[in-house]
């Protein structure tokens, strides 16, 4: 009688499972397991239900039991591997489980694809791409695998193939929101900003609460010369109204309200690695507590990047409070930050990849600050301040374009520490053709910019243009740039388009082939500008309206070169030509720029740290008074 009841229960549970009646199926399966605790099929189905209903850890536990009871249970192995991939905490275990599943069933396309994902999470790109392609041979209509393949190809630098894979994913599943969003990210990366924005808008139209697409849309606008400062601000404010408004009352904090206490300052970023942010953050971390004012600052780093490299280790040595935050959910991370009693939380991401703006919208620290990693407002009302300076954000001019209160440091909002391995500055030939150049990301290079660069080239006979970017791995991108410049009567032989170098040393050494660096707009260079100056290459920029278009001004003003700032885009080519035709001045700048930088506020690490800590102290005092 018990066996018959048991079998009937399991059959009914399996039927409810097949019809996706999760609640009913779970109730029946728990009754089955109460009678037969070691029933692998029931444990397997219950594990899937838990995963499908958001209880990932519980589901993984049941799937582990199923696999331990039935070693060759290929479906359970595949689903356990898939769940481990989704959780992402131990991709090596997921890889082992999925390899077992594929050994038992080599033609199981989903397991093959998930093995690609497990390898992808470990940055084993070549292997991941191979397994994605193997899965697509087994199941060519698998849109999600085409999307994963597109992501891996993007990271490997095969951008045109990535675009094709992304387009295939969208064609196979027009209603797959992530496919459109993923394709938009790739198109934006190669400078097809308007196409990317159209895809992000399509995603938002289908799913208004899609936070990632909404962030990608506002971030893409930073690169678009047709998106003015006021429009960009309104789009960020709209993001804040949709995704960044606190739904419940602000939390209370137990932080001691002593205005002179030692401040616990948390830095939140997905770029604690060899990334532009790190070159400007390292001086702060190195000097917090060493040259701090009054009671000083105790820093903590909340690390959102899984990838670790030599720069990660250098930063970690500067900050004992190093929290690997990437595995934590927003709720878990918010709880950790509050438990750590962080007084001031500094977001270094804005709307860039891996951000936690929705968490910040819930206010996880008494004072929240935006800084460094994003050239615009966040639109999040709970972020109180944005650190800048009076050149990048002139008082009374850009304030209305920010949801945060602008906090202007007295000299500069940036402090640059050049790489220790930078090659020596070599002199340039005094009688050879002038070489202009830009090593900015291809996303910053647009049609009006290329037209201005072409006018500068035309004004300097026999001059050349050297461009280098990861986007140059895309033949279609190279063709687009060449077409724009040749249409402006610049002969192709005057142009050299290079892919990214393998090492930072090689990247910096390339500046020895350049006489003058051309800044980009509307999104100026930052790290590339500092690198060029450090390598003896003067940079010419323009005076734009908003922060994204005034960072070059801030940097050049900081090092005492305001004469290299064109008042507008129309004046840019003539200023470039005038500098190019003054060979003695170019030689003098090349020989003196490193010393000029060392003596400037841009590299005054102790003084800059004092300025930042004074800002933190004033912000904290205001909170205590409030």
What pLDDT, in 10s, does the model give residues 465-484? 999 998 898 899 999 999 99
pLDDT surpasses 60 at 87? yes
69-96: average pLDDT: 91
Percent of the chain having pLDDT more than 70?
98
pLDDT surpasses 50 at 486? yes
d(CA 497, CA 476): 12
d(CA 463, CA 433): 5
Q: What is the pLDDT of residue 420?
A: 86
pLDDT surpasses 70 at 82? yes
Q: What is the pLDDT of residue 562?
A: 97
Q: What is the pLDDT of residue 247?
A: 59
Note the residue count of the chain: 626
Lowest-pLDDT range, 11-25, 91-105, 111-125, 523-537?
A: 11-25
Cα–chain-centroid distance for residue 188?
13
536-543: average pLDDT: 98
| Closest to 204 in 3D by CA, of 234, 180, 172 | 180
Distance separating the N- and C-terminal Cα atoms of the chain = 72
Q: What is the pLDDT of residue 294?
A: 45
Would you place residue 295 in the very low, low, confident or very high pLDDT band (cuts 50, 70, 90)? low
Please identify which residue in the block is written with the tokens 């791409």.
129
To the nearest whole number, what is the mean pLDDT of the chain? 94
pLDDT surpasses 90 at 186? yes
pLDDT surpasses 80 at 382? yes
Q: Residues 100-132: pLDDT tens digits?
A: 999 999 999 999 999 999 999 998 999 999 999
Q: What is the pLDDT of residue 1?
A: 37
Q: What is the pLDDT of residue 440?
A: 96
pLDDT surpasses 60 at 257? yes
Would you place residue 502 in the very low, low, confident or very high pLDDT band (cuts 50, 70, 90)? confident
pLDDT surpasses 70 at 211? yes
Q: Which helix (H) or strand (E) covers residue 93, if one does?
A: helix 91-104
Lowest-pLDDT range, 71-80, 516-525, 550-559?
A: 71-80
Q: What is the pLDDT of residue 216?
A: 97
Strands 297-303 and 322-324: parallel
8 Å CB contact between 123 and 307: yes
Would you place residue 174 in the very low, low, confident or very high pLDDT band (cuts 50, 70, 90)? very high
503: burial class by Cβ within 10 Å (0-12, 13-18, 19+)? exposed
Q: What is the pLDDT of residue 279?
A: 92
Would you place residue 289 in the very low, low, confident or very high pLDDT band (cuts 50, 70, 90)? low
Strands 435-438 and 464-468: parallel
Q: What is the pLDDT of residue 292?
A: 46
Q: What is the pLDDT of residue 291?
A: 45
pLDDT surpasses 60 at 409? yes
Q: What is the pLDDT of residue 245?
A: 79
569-593: average pLDDT: 97
493-506: average pLDDT: 93
Using CA atoms, how far residue 190 sits from 114, 415, 479, 483, in Å, is 27, 29, 12, 15
Please identify which residue in the block is written with the tokens 């060029």.
532
573-601: average pLDDT: 97
Strands 405-409 and 495-498: unpaired
Residue 309 or 244, more confident: 309
d(CA 514, CA 434): 8
pLDDT surpasses 60 at 328? yes
């Amino acid at each position: 009688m018990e066996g018959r009841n048991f079998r009937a229960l399991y059959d009914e549970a399996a039927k409810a499972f097949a019809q996706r009646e999760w609640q009913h199926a779970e109730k029946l399966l728990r009754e089955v397991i109460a009678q037969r605790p070691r029933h692998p099929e029931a444990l397997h189905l219950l594990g899937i239900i838990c995963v499908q209903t958001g209880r990932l850890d519980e589901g993984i536990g049941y799937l582990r039991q199923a696999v331990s009871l039935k070693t060759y249970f290929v479906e359970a192995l595949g689903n356990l591997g898939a769940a481990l991939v989704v959780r992402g905490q131990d991709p090596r275990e997921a890889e082992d489980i999925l390899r077992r599943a594929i050994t038992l069933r080599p033609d199981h396309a989903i397991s093959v694809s998930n093995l690609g994902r497990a390898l992808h999470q470990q940055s084993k790109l070549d292997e991941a791409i191979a397994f994605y392609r193997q899965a697509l041979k087994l199941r060519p209509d698998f849109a999600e695998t085409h999307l994963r393949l597109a992501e891996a190809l993007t990271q490997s630098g095969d951008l045109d193939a990535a675009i094709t894979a992304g387009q295939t994913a969208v064609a196979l599943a027009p209603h797959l929101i992530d496919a459109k969003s993923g394709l938009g990210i790739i198109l934006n990366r190669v400078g097809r900003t308007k196409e990317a924005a159209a895809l992000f808008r399509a995603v938002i139209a289908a799913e208004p609460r899609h936070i990632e697409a909404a962030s990608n849309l506002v971030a893409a606008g930073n690169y678009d010369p047709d998106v003015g400062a006021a429009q960009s601000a309104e789009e960020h404010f709209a993001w804040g109204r949709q995704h960044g408004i606190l739904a419940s009352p602000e939390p209370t904090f137990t932080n001691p309200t002593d205005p002179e206490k030692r401040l616990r300052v948390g830095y939140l970023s997905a770029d604690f690695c060899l990334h532009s942010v790190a070159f400007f953050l390292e001086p702060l971390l190195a000097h917090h507590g060493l040259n701090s004012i009054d009671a000083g600052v105790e820093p903590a780093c909340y690390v959102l990047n899984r990838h670790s490299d030599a720069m990660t280790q250098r930063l970690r040595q500067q900050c004992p409070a190093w929290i690997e935050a990437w595995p934590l959910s927003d709720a878990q991370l918010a709880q950790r930050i509050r438990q750590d009693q962080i007084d001031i939380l500094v977001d270094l991401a804005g709307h860039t990849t891996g951000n936690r703006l929705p968490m910040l919208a819930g206010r996880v620290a008494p004072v929240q600050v935006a800084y460094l990693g994003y050239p615009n407002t966040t639109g999040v009302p709970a972020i109180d301040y944005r650190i800048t300076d009076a050149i990048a954000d002139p008082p009374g001019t850009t304030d209305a374009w920010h949801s945060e209160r602008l906090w202007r440091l007295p000299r500069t909002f940036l402090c640059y520490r050049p790489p220790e391995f930078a090659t020596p500055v070599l002199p340039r030939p005094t009688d050879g053709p002038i070489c202009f150049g830009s090593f900015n990301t291809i996303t910053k290079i647009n049609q009006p910019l290329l037209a201005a660069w072409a006018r500068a080239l035309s004004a300097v006979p026999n001059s050349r243009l050297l461009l280098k970017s990861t986007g140059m791995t895309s033949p279609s991108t190279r063709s687009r740039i060449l077409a724009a410049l040749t249409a402006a009567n610049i002969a192709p032989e005057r142009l050299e388009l290079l892919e990214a170098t393998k090492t930072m040393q090689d990247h910096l050494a390339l500046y020895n082939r350049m006489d003058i660096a051309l800044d980009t707009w509307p999104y100026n260079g930052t790290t590339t500008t500092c690198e060029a100056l450090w390598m003896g290459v003067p940079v010419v920029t323009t005076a734009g309206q908003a922060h994204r278009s005034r960072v070059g001004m801030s940097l050049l003003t900081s090092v005492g070169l305001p004469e290299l700032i064109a008042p507008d885009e129309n004046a840019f080519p003539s200023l470039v030509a005038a500098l190019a035709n003054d060979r003695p001045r170019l030689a003098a700048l090349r020989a003196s720029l490193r010393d000029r930088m060392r003596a400037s506020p841009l590299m005054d690490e102790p003084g800059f740290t004092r300025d930042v800590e004074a800002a933190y102290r004033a912000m904290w005092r205001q909170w205590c008074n409030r």
